[in-house]
């Protein structure tokens, strides 16, 4: 019977030297972060343009003010 993908990956990783196992782990972490970012793309375009314009205007207005007592 064929191994599952995770089992095959684990078996191959066990045969690698520790330094290469760490490299593989770092690569998996990059893949996980990329997957999380990809999940966010599902929300792309979900904010109506008029709401985006209102947010941009509020940010612009708020960023133009300096509160000297704030520092």
**Would 50 be classed as within a structural domain?**
yes
pTM to 2 decimal places: 0.52
Q: What is the pLDDT of residue 40?
A: 78
Per the structure, the count of domains in the chain is 1
> Can you give the pLDDT at residue 64?
67
Query: What pLDDT is stored for residue 71 in this prediction?
Result: 61
- The pair of structure tokens assigned to 71 is 């520092």
Q: What is the mean pLDDT of each run of 10 residues along the chain (71 residues)?
A: 91 96 94 83 86 89 73 61
19 within domain boundaries: yes
User: Is residue 41 included in any domain, yes or no?
Assistant: yes
In a domain, 29, yes or no: yes
CB atoms within 10 A of CB 34: 10
Rounded Cα distance, 57 and 40, in Å: 24
Q: Go through the chain and tell me how many residues it has.
A: 71
Q: Which domain holds residue 35?
A: 5-66
Q: In this structure, what DSSP letter does residue 68 have?
A: G
Q: Does residue 71 lie in a domain region?
A: no
């Amino acid at each position: 019977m064929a191994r599952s993908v995770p089992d095959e990956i684990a078996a191959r990783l066990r045969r690698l030297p520790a330094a290469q196992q760490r490299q593989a782990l770092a690569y998996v972490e990059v893949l996980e972060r990329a997957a999380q970012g990809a999940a966010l793309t599902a929300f792309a375009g979900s904010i109506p343009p008029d709401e985006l314009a209102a947010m941009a205007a509020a940010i612009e207005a708020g960023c133009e003010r300096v509160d000297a007592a704030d520092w």
